[in-house]
Amino acid sequence: MFFSTCTNGCVRCGARRYLEYFINLVVRKTFNVAFSISPVSQEGLDIIVLKDNSTGTEVQVVPAHGAMLHAFVVQHKGQPLNVIDSYKNIAALKADLTNSFKNVKLSPFACRMTDRQYNWNGQHYEILKSDIHGLLFDVSFELVQQTAIESYAAITLQYTYRADDAGYPFNYDCLVEYRLLPEHQLAVTTTLENHSHVPIPIMDGWHPYFTTGGSIDALELQFAATHLVAFNEKLLPTGQLLPYDKFRQRSTLTGVELDNSFLRDLAKPAPAAGLYDPEKGLAIEFYPDASYPVLQVYTPPHRRSIAVECLSGAPDAFNNKIGLVQLSPGESKTFRTTYKIRQ
């Protein structure tokens, strides 16, 4: 049936068309088992889906709301399991974002800042927008690049900050790459570029909330820290760094309450941290590089999820300078972390 003749009665043309059809079919099948990228609109959210078609693993990102990580889905016992505690719809996001700041980009500072104020190069500044979690948590990032090949799927999002807040009158670009890799791995890379004519202070971070579908009381946590950053009653650092060795071994989270910053033991072999569900036989592992020397862990009162945050500095870094990064004019710095799900 494929060897129909052309208008000139040529059987060869029909054969060529069949060969082209066959080649295209093979190519489509090949790409169906590789990686793909597709847009999806769901419950008022415009989502970009990165997918490993061979395993069904997905990463979902919402660029229009702080470059938000919406989902990291794996197939577990034949069913999809999203390990990110995400918003069900746009209404839930708008109602809660400035309470929990779930899963968004934290820049140019993370966590709390004393009274929104800091001094930099002899000048005094006061942030207008928020005293917690920076200035980009609710902005719309632009999709500037996407790649889907046999070995990974990746998107790059960009926000161009141009002195939008009087308390941070500097210019910089924030570029975020989400890259889905084989074996249920997600690499997240942030590059900050100084476009001001003066040096600028920078602290970078993420705010993902993780879940395995039940209470975190059923989970175990492990990480290696050298020090705990002591906080006052306002959850701001006092300046003390206290020796800390708890959670070097897997420890239950039953009844444990955390809202703390820890200085990572960078000499410890990777992963830097792990979250384990013994009942499901599931592990979420964290592989930040040295650009993220601080780990922040928060157990919310509802205990349906836990925030495990990779930070380049301690809370209030603009004032206490713990981990604060200075970027010279024209300079850029990259921060990387990778999440891996094991079953």
Question: Are the CB atoms for 251 and 273 separated by under 8 Å?
Answer: no
Domain total in the chain? 1
CATH number of 178's domain: 2.70.98.10
**In terms of pLDDT, which residue wins out, 151 or 20?**
151
Confidence of residue 81 (pLDDT cuts 50, 70, 90): very high
- Alpha-carbon gap, residue 241 to 115, rounded angstroms: 22
Q: What is the pLDDT of residue 313?
A: 97
Number of Cβ within a 10 Å radius of residue 27: 10
Q: Encode pLDDT of 195-206 as tens digits.
A: 999 999 999 999
pLDDT in tens, 228-279: 999 999 999 999 999 999 999 999 999 999 999 999 999 999 999 999 999 9
With pLDDT > 90 as the criterion, what percentage of the chain qualifies?
Answer: 90
Whether residue 1 is contained in a domain is answered as: no
What is the Cβ-side half-sphere exposure of residue 253, based on CA atoms within 13 angstroms? Answer: 29
Q: Classify residue 33 as exposed, middle or buried by CB count within 10 Å of its CB (0-12, 13-18, 19+).
A: exposed
* 99 pLDDT higher than 70: yes
Q: Which pLDDT does position 12 carry in this prediction?
A: 46
Residue 85 scores a pLDDT above 90: yes
Is 18 a member of any domain? Answer: no
Mean pLDDT, the chain, integer: 91
Asked, for residue 29, whether it belongs to a domain, the answer is no
Determine the pLDDT at residue 28: 39
Which of 127, 151, 155 is closest to 141 using CA atoms? 155
For residue 90, is it within any domain?
yes
Residue 10 falls inside a structural domain: no
Whether 37 and 148 have beta carbons less than 8 Å apart is answered as: yes
Cα 99 from Cα 85, distance rounded (Å): 14
25 lies in some domain? no
CB 65 within 8 A of CB 97: yes
Residues 42-70, mean pLDDT to the nearest whole number: 97
Q: What percent of the chain has pLDDT over 70?
A: 90
Q: Is residue 8 part of a domain?
A: no
* pLDDT at position 266: 95
Cβ contacts of 295 within 8 Å, gap of 6 or more: 223, 225, 261, 262, 264, 272, 273, 286, 288, 308, 309, 310, 311
Check if the beta carbon of residue 187 is closer than 8 Å to that of residue 179.
yes
Tokens of residue 51, six digits: 């997918």
pLDDT tops 50 at residue 31: no
Domain containing 67 equals: 37-342
C-alpha to C-alpha distances, 34 to 143, 145, 148, 180, 182, nearest whole angstrom: 22, 19, 8, 11, 10
**Could you tell me if residue 81 is inside a domain?**
yes
Q: What is the spatial distance between Cα 12 and Cα 24, in angstroms, rounded to a whole number?
A: 18
Whether pTM exceeds 0.85: yes
What pLDDT, on the 0 to 100 scale, is given for residue 20? 42
The region, left, alpha or beta by phi > 0 then psi within -120 to 50, assigned to residue 22 is: alpha
